[in-house]
Amino acid sequence: MNRPPAACPPTLPARLALVHRELARGDDLGERRLTEAIGDGDSAQMSQIIRRIAAFAFVLMAGTSASVALAQSTADEEAKRRAANIAAFPDAARSLFGQKTAPADMRARAIGSYARGCLAGAAALPVDGPSWQVMRQARNRNWGHPILIDYLEKLARAAPKITGWPGILVGDISQPRGGPMLTGHASHQIGLDADLWLTPMPRRKLDRDERENMPAVNMARADWRDVDPKNWTPAHGRLIKAAAADPRVERIFVNPALKVALCREAGADKSWLEKVRPIWGHNYHFHVRMSCPPGMEGCSGQEPPNFGDGCGAELAGWIERQRKAIFAPPRPPPRSGPPPKPRPPMSLDALPAECRQVLVSR
């Protein structure tokens, strides 16, 4: 791995590339805080979140070795970070759930909430379907509540007709028993969240190495105000609209720059855009979140979206905040004394009590 010397910060293009890559990881930056804050709406909490993200972006730009490690997300790096996280906190919920390789043989249940819960009786999305391929298979995150797996198969089967592509590439869903993960994502814990790549599936079957390391394509334009027309096509908009149309879907998350294109291309009928919420990252993939299955006790979803289409001032605000975080991040205040200890990761006690059963079940 190439580490720039600490005393020599990377050049501006290199710094921007780092931030872009980090935004691409998305879930690490934004989703964690936004899902716990229920994201949409609470402005005080939101500005605190944005300050933290901006400060993080600044740390990245300062070119610390840790940020370089974070920004590289090959299979090797992923494996190293997993091992380091297990070693640092072997009893953390993410270490316990992150090492389970098979689902809990129980009735299918999404237990808890998107960023604090687990999954019983998970089903796997087959790694190859007639019109889908699962990416990053080594992570073993192609597990979900059967309702989500059913939804994904239907959407993928319809995708060639909707998009003209051979199919779709599927990113992370959940671990076999859900729960917190050793790397990436704070949500995706109860088998109701899935990341779908915005890179069209190629006609051929990708090999093992490509599935682990093939980079995704950034859909945002360099100024982060709109999509990049070199990569974004109307088919992307049609796919996201189709994904939102299923009544079981509660929200879809995309980068604000992508929502700008969706709003423009939607024409007169913008009502479906209410479900499509702007969020950090999500410029390489979009995120589908299902509602709790009806009558499923112990599963707590979010309020149904109630913000209008969000294409006006709200979206403009997101664009400006994101640009500020990328291009003009505030300097963190000078610190005296030793750096603060990082907060320990979520413990098993923080999850619903039933998650202990999920963990120990056959």
Q: Which residues bind Zn ion (CB under 5 A)?
A: 27, 195, 287
- Compare residues 233 and 255 and give the one whose CB is closer to Zn ion: 255
For residue 289, the minimal CB distance to Zn ion (Å) is: 9
**Rounded to the nearest whole angstrom, what is the least distance from the CB of residue 24 to Zn ion in the complex?**
11
Cβ atoms of 197 and 135 closer than 8 Å: yes
How far is 151 from 175, CA to CA, in rounded Å?
A: 18
Which residue has the CB atom at the shortest distance from Zn ion?
287
Whichever of 73 and 348 has its CB closer to Zn ion, that residue is 73
CB of residue 187 vs Zn ion: minimum separation in angstroms?
Answer: 7
CA atoms of 325 and 232, how far apart (whole Å) = 23
Give the shortest CB-28-to-Zn ion separation in angstroms: 10
Q: How many CA atoms lie within 13 A of 202 on its CB side?
A: 9
CB of 287 to Zn ion, least distance (A): 3
Tell me how many helices (H) and strands (E) the chain has: 12, 11
Residue 314 CB, nearest approach to Zn ion (Å)? 20
Residue in 11, 13, 48, 32 with CA at minimum distance from that of residue 281:
32
Q: Whose Cβ is closer to Zn ion: residue 139's or residue 287's?
A: 287
* Residue 37 vs 62, nearer CB to Zn ion: 37
Query: Between residues 63 and 184, which has the closer beta carbon with respect to Zn ion?
Result: 184
Q: In terms of CB distance, is 133 or 189 closer to Zn ion?
A: 189
Phi-psi region of 26 (alpha: psi -120 to 50; beta: other; left: phi over 0): left
Supply the minimum distance, in Å, between the C-beta of residue 259 and Zn ion.
15
Taking the least distance from each CB to Zn ion, the nearer of 185 and 321 is 185
Residues 6+ apart with CB under 8 A from 5: none
The DSSP code for 179 is S
For the range 72-75, what are the long-range contacts, defined as Cβ-Cβ under 8 Å and sequence gap of 24 or more? 72/1, 72/21, 73/21, 73/25, 74/212, 74/213, 75/136, 75/138, 75/212, 75/213
- What phi, psi does 316 have (nearest 5°)? -60, -40
CA dist., res. 273 & res. 277, Å (int): 8
Question: Strands 132-134 and 128-129, how do they pair?
Answer: antiparallel
End-to-end CA distance of the chain: 40
Kindly state the tokens that stand for 139.
């992570």
Cβ 356 to Zn ion shortest distance, Å: 26
Task: Report the distance separating Cα 253 and Cα 180, nearest Å.
Answer: 19
The residue (of 288 and 296) whose beta carbon lies closer to Zn ion is 288
Spatial distance between the Cα atoms of 287 and 243, rounded to a whole number of angstroms: 10
